[in-house]
Each structure stands twice: as structure tokens, then as C-alpha cells.
A and B are shown apart, each in its own frame.
Chain A
Amino acid sequence: MKNDLRKKKELPYILMGIPGVSIFFVFFIMPLLFTVRYSFFNWTNFSPDISFNGLDNYKKLFHDSTILYGIKNALVYAVVTVFLQSLIALPVSAALNTKFRGRNLFRATFFCPAVLSTLVVGYLWKYLLSASELGFINQVMNRIGVGTVNFLGDKRYALASIIFTQVWQWFGWSMVIYLGNLQSISGDLYEAASIDGAGTLRKFWHITIPGLAPALKINLITGMISGLKVFDIVISMTGGGPAHKTDTILTLMYAKFADGNYGYAAAFGIMFLLVSLVVSRVLLGLFGAWERRLGQ
């Protein structure tokens, strides 16, 4: 009797959890397990039979030199983009954290590109950076006498150009995260430091940076992880070229998928998981060490 009553009390809570948990299970956990399973299968668009082929997909993957480009480009992209974004966003957010006229307008302006679709930004910059006479950047460079640079067609500049556009688009997002954190650092600390005779730079280094640990962690870790996922900007600007110099793990996976090599593409998905797990482990370890040092 008592037990029945207790069960009746628990039931509504269980019912409330069911929609979320079941959608999560069916459309997140199951596909994950399917991906692991089918990465060991010979599953293509060309033949109706799906057969187990052991490690064949992975053997093929390790002999495929493009995957190395994919991993290297994604890592370089993620590290450089995250670094440059914070390099710009940190001083800008510190400047915007003081009261002055036009502060909100600057904030709204810097964040603005983040609401544009990355695909749209990619096509816009592809045009602006174009080496034809239509490309605005090259028009300017010709006028000042530097000459034409084939930003997206030249192996040396293609990835750097992509990184540039993404720093342009997303530094405002990092800035907003730093701003939110800066507002939570107590003004008393700065006052006390001023009384002790600390200058602006010393205060920045000894109060602002340690106080920003939470936002730094968010910006660097989520930035790195979403950097590894880079896809839209590559599809719109270069399609992975020239000569795989801008291909990433996910653009390669899509190429295998579009070719109908589904099992092989699944192995790329697993590769992507491994790389992102390693990267987040390393970053969390580094931050843990830093926070322990700050705590001392």
C-alpha cells in the first residue's frame, strides 16, 4: 500500500523525463553505436549487400594520405583561429568593460558577423578575395602596387585565408564571453592594486587574466572543439582544395559519403571522435594544472 503510493508519486517525474531521454537515446546514442558498428562493414551505395569486413576500412584509412591532411588542417585551423580570436577579443573586451559613449554600439557591431551564416560569409569572402578583376581585395592591392595574390588558389595562402575570415566572423562571440566574465570580477581588487601602485598592465596580468579563467576555458575548449568541426567555410570557399590543403576531417567524411562509400565514411567519423577526445583531454589537463597553480 505504502509502496504503491510512493510509486505513484515518482511516476509523474519519470513521465516528464521520458520524451527527452527517448529522443536522446534514439537519435543520439543509437546512431553513435551504429557508426561504430558500420565502420567495420563493407557498406556502399553500389551494392545491396552489407558485409562485415573487419578492420579493412581502418587499414584503408591509414593508407589514405588525405586523412593526414584532414587532421593536420583541422588542428592548425582550430589552434590558430582560437588563438587569434582571443588575441583580438581580450583587449577589446577589456576596453568595452569601461563606461564610455558608444560602448553598446561597438559591442553590437563586433558581434554582428556571428549571426550571419558561415556559408554566406564564405561565399562573400570568396568573392572579395577572388584573384579575378572582380575581387575587391586584389583591386586594392593592385592599386597600392602589391600585385595580385591568388589567396584561395595558392597552396600557401588558402588555409590562412579561411582562418582570417573565421577570425573576422567569430572574434565578437569570444569578446561577448570575455565581457560577461569581466563584469563578474570585483572592482575592489583593482582598487586595492591601484593603492599598492600597480599599473594598468600589471593589473591586467595579475587580476584580469586569472579572473578570466572561466571564460578562457570556455573560449579555448569550445573554440578548439568547434574548430575541429570546421565544414561550412571550407565547402563554400575552397571545397577542400587546392590539393587537399584546406580539407578537414569532416569535409573528407562528406566526400566519402557523397561517393557512396558509407562504411568508409563511418570510419572517418570514428577518427574524428578520437581526435576530438584527445584534444579535449589535453586541454582539460592543461587547464587543470593552471587552475591548481592559481589556487596555490
Chain B
Amino acid sequence: MKRKNHLQTALKYIILGLLAIIVLLPIYYLLVTTFKSSAEATMAPMALPKSFDFGGYAYAFEKMQYPRAFKNTLVITVCSVAGIVVCASMLGYALNRREERKLSKFTFLFILSGMLFPAQMSVLGLYKLIQGLHMMNQLSAVILINIAANMAYAAFMFKSFVSTIPIELEEAARIDGAGTLRTFWTITFPLMKPIVATIAILNALTLWNDFMTPLYFLQKRENDVLLQEIYRNVGQFSTDWTSLFQMLVLGALPLLLFYLFMQRFIIGGVMSGSVKG
């Protein structure tokens, strides 16, 4: 019996280990190749680089106009996430605490209907709207589109979370003379930390990696994001193989670092964000 258990454990490690190699090998290849000459890369693709040459990175950094594109990506992600959290938490709260009202019921159904329609179908209508508002090529356009596209799910999650917060806590603050809005921000919002983290992490991941919305609405180079710079340099106009790998690493690095430090929270966020939904 005991021997059988040992065998099972060993088998488990072998299978999981093989899978881990399949997952990590391409990422390892990507990282080591950035330091190699093309001859070295073809001759010994899996070996560690003989020397660490950062010249490729300097070149890619400049070609991608990295600081500008990074800043745009960061502004879009941070503002969109902040907007989603602020608007959806207030909306979810109001919908929950006024659940009996007809207006709330109607608003909730209206917002829920948003989950039926995939945002991608409306790109052409958005294009017309953004043109009409003279917001083409502005980061604010992408930010507002992102907030709207993710509002339904976030408001839904916030609404169901608020029902776990006892209303007595708020009533105590009320007696001390605080208004509804103040009570929300000082008492309720701090208690919503877990769901705020979940919503923020899920949206930060998808919005940082979103390529389609910027592609449609940020067509001027000075306003584009990191992924569009990669697309511009290795996809659309020319394929610059010499700096391809460095560009890919520079594009993926910010989130990889974020993942390295926040791994537990990110995985936790994905877990709780989906099973409840």
C-alpha cells in the first residue's frame, strides 16, 4: 500500500514536471534569445547566452518609443480600473440598498442586459459615436469605452457583495450624522476590499493586454499603446526580426514583474472572480 503511494507521488511529479517544462520552455527561449547574436541563436537555441549584450534592448526600446507607449498603456489601464471600481461600487451599492424600489429593479435589469451583448459587436457604432464626440485618438475615449464595457459585470459583483455587509454598521454612522455618500466611502467601501481587489486585478490584466480597442480608436502613433508598437514594428509594416524578441520581452515585462510579486493575489482574484459569477 505504502509503495503504491510512493509510486503515485513520483508519477505525479513527473507528469506535472513535464507540463511545467512545456509551459516554461518557450518563455525561457524568448528570454535567452534576446541576448544572443542570430548565429548563436540558430546554433545553440537552448543554451544560456555566452555574454549578456543589452544592445538589442536599447535598440528596441528606442524603436518602440517605449517611455511614451508605456505611459499611454499605464494611463489607460489605471484610469479605466479606477473608473470601473468607483462607478460600479457606488452603483452596486445603491442597487443593493434600494433593492425594493422600482427604479432600482429597472436599472438592474438594464445593466444586466449588457452582459448579453458582447462589446466587440458594437465597434462600428462606437466609431461613429467617438467621431461625433471628436474623441478619436484620445486616451479618454478608450478609457470610457473600457469602463462601459466592464460596468455590467463589476456592478453585478459589487451588488451581490454588498449584501454580505451588515446594514447596522452604516446605521451607526448615520446616527452620528454622516450622509449617505460619506457613510459609503468611510464605512462600506473599506469593507469591500476583497471584491475591489478581485475586480481591479481581473480588469487590470485584461485591459493592459487589450489590443483591439486601441487598434480601432488610437490610430495616431503619438497616442498608441505598447502592443500597437509591437504590431507596428514586427507585424504591420515590416518584420524587424533583429529586435523582435527584445520588443516582445519589453512588451510583456511589466505584467510579468507584476505577476511575480502579486502572484497569490492575481490567482486568488481569478478564482473568486469567476466561480461566483
Contact = CB atoms under 8 A, between A and B. Distances in A.
Interface string B238-259: 0001001100100110011011
Contacts of B41: 134
Contacts of B58: none
Interface string A165-180: 0001000110011011
B123 A20 contact: no
A160 B259 CA distance: 29
Nearest to B277: A218
B92 to A, nearest CB: 8
Contacts of B111: 20-21, 24
A35 B155 contact: no
Given A13-B97, A30-B129, A115 B259 contact: yes
Contact of A116 (B116, B155, B255): B255
A20 B241 CA distance: 45
Given A19-B87, A168-B22, A177-B271, A27 B125 contact: no
B180 A12 contact: yes
A89 B211 CA distance: 26
B23 A100 contact: no
A23 B274 contact: no
B139 interface: no
A286 to B, nearest CB: 18
B19 A124 contact: no
B180 A13 contact: yes
A106 B16 contact: yes
Contact of B181 (A12, A110, A128): A12
Contacts of A42: none
A116 B125 contact: no
Contact of B122 (A17, A19, A31, A214): A31
Given A16-B180, A17-B107, A109-B23, A176 B121 contact: no
Contact of B184 (A16, A117, A214, A236): A16
A225 B116 CA distance: 11
A110 B263 CA distance: 12
B249 to A, nearest CB: 9
B114 interface: yes
Contacts of B227: 117, 119-120
A193 B114 CA distance: 43
B267 A107 contact: yes
Interface stretch (B48-56, B141-149, B165-173): B141-149
Secondary structure of the B contact surface, majority rule: helix
A27 B144 CA distance: 7
A214 B272 CA distance: 12
B20 A106 contact: yes
Contacts of B184: 16
A49 interface: no
Contact of A265 (B15, B124, B230): B124
B252 A277 contact: no
B27 A112 contact: yes
A269 B122 contact: yes
Contacts of B12: 95, 100
B272 A180 contact: yes
Nearest to A140: B45
Given A16-B91, A168-B22, A32 B255 contact: no
A180 B205 CA distance: 19
Contacts of A173: 270
Contact of B147 (A23, A168, A177, A232): A23
A266 interface: yes
A136 B38 CA distance: 13
B113 to A, nearest CB: 8
Given A115-B266, A120-B230, A232 B212 contact: yes
A95 B8 CA distance: 11
Contact of B209 (A112, A117, A262, A266): A117
B164 interface: no
Contacts of B97: 13
A52 interface: no
B150 to A, nearest CB: 10
A273 interface: yes
A163 interface: no
Interface string B5-49: 000010011011001101110110110000000100110010000
27 contacts: A13-B94, A20-B87, A20-B151, A21-B110, A24-B148, A24-B151, A31-B123, A35-B121, A35-B122, A38-B124, A100-B9, A106-B20, A109-B24, A112-B256, A113-B23, A113-B27, A117-B211, A117-B255, A119-B230, A127-B241, A133-B42, A181-B275, A222-B274, A253-B124, A254-B212, A273-B117, A273-B118
Given A119-B209, A120-B251, A269-B121, 11 more contacts: A13-B94, A20-B90, A23-B87, A24-B151, A34-B125, A108-B263, A119-B251, A123-B234, A134-B41, A134-B42, A269-B122
